[in-house]
Structure formats: C-alpha cells, structure tokens
Amino acid sequence: MAIIAPFRGLRYNPDLVKELSLVMAPPYDVISPEGQRTFHARHEQNVIRLILGEALEGDDAVRNQYSRAGDYFRRWQTEQVLVRDPAPAVYLYQQTFQLPGAGTLTRYGLIGLVRLEEFGSRTVFPHERTMGAAKADRLRLIQACHANLSSVFGIYPGRFLELDRLTAAAEESKPTIDLIDWDGIHHRVWTCQDRAAIKRLQAECASTPLFIADGHHRYETALTFRDLMREKEKGDPAQTQRRPYNYIMMTLVSAEDPGLVILPIHRLLRHLPGGSLDGYLAQLARQFTVERLPVPRDPAAAASALLSRLRQTKEGTHCFGLYGGEERAYLLTLADEQALEAKADEDKPPVYRQLDVTIVHALLIEGPWSRQGLCDLPEDALSYHHDAAEAIRLVQQGGWAAAILLNPTKIAEVQAVAEAGLRMPPKSTFFYPKLLTGLAIHPLMPDEVVEV
C-alpha cells in the first residue's frame, strides 16, 4: 500500500532570489566536475552548494563539503533565503521540452511525500543496482542537513484522475514557480493545499505500486537514515511512525504520460576484440546480421542516420548500431536467438535476458572479450553516453575505437524487470528531462509529524 502525504515545502524566497533559474541544478548524479564548477559560479546560493559541494584542500572529518552544506542550509533559512510554505501541500509539476524527432512534449508530475517501504514489500520497486560509496556519500549529506534536498523520480501505472483534474485546473492559474532552465526546459509548479483533493489523491494512490525511475541511492539512503533515527527515538510509537524521516520527497509521473521519455545510453569501446574493426565484425557475424550503412562524417548527422534506422526496428527484433570511425557504420541485427539463450545471463528469466542492454553486454562486449581469453574488461575499456553524436565525435577524435548505439529501454520493460524482483544492468535507462533540484526541499524536522 503506497502512502503519499503533503508537506510544508521549503522553497527559495522570490523576494530575495529574483531569478530562480540561477539557483537551480540538475540531480547531483548527472553533474560532471565541469558542471559542478559552473553551477557554483552561477549564484552564491545555488542549490549545488547543498547537494554537491566542492571538496577543498584542508578538509577533514569535521570540516568538509557535508558540514558546509549543513551550514549553508541553516544559514539560508535564518536569512530567509529559504522559507517554508505555511501549510502542508502537494505540488503540481509541469516540464515542457523539445525532443528531436518528436517536437514539443510536456510531462506532468506530483511532488509529495511517499512513506518509505522496504523493497520486499512490493509497494516501491527499484530497477537499478546501487553502489555502496554513493550511498555512504548521500548518508553523510542527509545527516548534515536533515532534509530531502532533491526529489526521487517515481512512476506509477495508469492515471490518477484527481491529479489530471487538478492539473487541468491549475494550468488556468498563475504558477507558484515559473522558469526556463539552462537547457531551455520550461518548469512550472503549482501549490495545492486543498485537503479534500489531497485525500482523494491519497485514496487513488493507496493500491498503486510505485517504480523508482531515478534516485535509487537517495531512496536506499533514506531507509538507512530512517532506521538510525528510529533507534534514537524514545517517544510514543504512534508519533514516531509519523515523523518526517519515515517519508521521502518523490515526484510521481504516470507511466502513460506522453512526456515520459527514456533515452538510450550508448556504449563506447576503448579497444576492439579481434584487434581491428574487421576482426570484431568477423566475430559478430557468427550471431548477427551485419549491414553496412552509409553515414555522413558530421557526428550529429551520422548519429541521426544510425538512430533513425534503429527506430525502424520491428517489435521483438534486437538491433544495434556500430560506428567504427571515418564513415564506417553498421547495423547489427541479432540472428542467433540460441546465442542469446546461451550467453545472456542464462540464470535470469526472459524478461531480463531479452533486454537490449543485456544483449549488448553479453554478445557485443563481454562475449567477444572472453573469446580473447580475457575474463574481465579492463577498467578503462568502456564508457557510457546518452548523446549519440558526442559518442561518435569521441571515436572520430581517436580516443575510442567504436561506439555501440542502442534503442531506448521501454517503460514496460522497466516495470516488468522490477516486478520480477530484478535490477537492470548498469546504465540501462536515462529518463529525460531530469527533475529540477531546488524547486522544493523536505526538511526532516524532529518534532513534527506528517499529515496522512
């Protein structure tokens, strides 16, 4: 049973921060070191100082990027840079963006609290694997700030009729937040404090499973933080179960939303099994139909040509693009289904083995390498990029031998793998656009309870 709840969001004060786009940032885990520096320079109160502070020379266990984040967070509240809404609310979130080949799209979401549940409860489902170092990093941050600084991205099947009704009505009114970010994406947020409407939303959500799209590390960290806080709490159990640390801020989007976009994450190979492109293709020809494709040299045009052919793939067919430099590009179509059964994680069910990302690693990357007598890929042998043109450009520059382009993972595949209790291979999905960090913060106040 999924439990959602309103909260008194902590938001940037528009009287003191006149241009809200200057204090926003993407989620921390998609920000490059260069991007980190850029967002630090955009504004002295950019949320980057909370979610991804810079490590400085002389930092130690006491004074570091986490302690500085806590200091900023408390100071900005004292100075009224961040102010809390007067009453618990849910927030209606709209993102309008351009997608090549699809034109203008709009995605709608609901920002609220979701009660933390163990994954085995079959209420909240993960689809990605997590890493211990990233969770340790996020735990230090939540301990320093006692807040959900950015929203987890969740997906639910079907539609919430009450949410559709509220969104349609909200679009006729002035939004609480209205900004265009550095990528030209238009973000609008409306505040809903209507208790009756929130109750109807809670009733609709109660029987709905939720799937984590982005934010697995933050969700698992919140579970750990909850357990640590419960160990310290000595009060009335009826009250402690309603403390804010039992919940996490999440943005919920319908799986049926036309603006719910998953982009593919392409692979770059540092070296080619077989020693050359021709040798690699000879190996692949045992299991794939190999078709040479004429592509222009311009990276964007070459990427467009390859991706266009991939999009024409028939349902149930596994097809990949291979770019090997110059004007050498190929369409690889899996012809040997028995190879798939034999190599692609044979201990996993078909819903996992038939993912394009599973096939890529089993038959295009790890399989060819193992035939060279190498059990493990070298650490620097593989890189990931959601921008196909950039992947092709890197091959042309000579640092990488080839790029493998994929079709995007389907939302139905994400749900099916999650419901089977499995996690997808690394870098299987890139949900676009990312949620904006800085729109609202959920402070974990120790003396408050959540309204349910």
Q: Model pTM?
A: 0.92
* Alpha-carbon span 173 to 265, nearest angstrom: 38
What's the DSSP call for residue 386?
S
Q: In the numeric block, which tokens belong to residue 28?
A: 């921390």
Q: Are 183 and 116 in contact (CB under 8 A)?
A: no
Q: Write the CA distances from 53 to 36, 69, 88, 225, integer angstroms.
A: 8, 7, 29, 20
**Per-residue pLDDT tens for 234-272?**
777 777 889 999 999 999 999 999 999 999 999 999 988
Per-residue pLDDT at 160:
93
By DSSP bridging, strand 210-214 and strand 124-125 are parallel
d(CA 54, CA 88): 33
Predicted pLDDT at 310: 94
pLDDT of residue 340: 60
What pLDDT score does 78 carry? Answer: 98
Summarize pLDDT for 304-327 with one digit per residue, the tens.
999 999 999 888 899 999 999 988
SS3 97: strand
Hey, which residues does 96 pair with through a beta bridge?
106, 186
Q: What is the pLDDT of residue 331?
A: 96
Q: What local confidence, expressed as pLDDT, does residue 377 receive?
A: 66
| DSSP 8-state assignment for residue 442 | E
Cα–Cα dist 1/141, whole Å: 29
Nearest to residue 245, comparing CAs of 263, 224, 271?
224
Tell me the mean pLDDT per 10 residues along the chain, length 452: 95 97 96 95 98 91 93 98 97 96 94 96 92 95 98 96 94 96 97 96 93 96 96 80 95 97 95 88 93 94 94 90 94 80 67 91 82 61 92 94 96 93 90 97 94 85
Cite the beta strand spans of 100-164 per DSSP E.
Answer: 103-115, 124-125, 147-148, 152-156
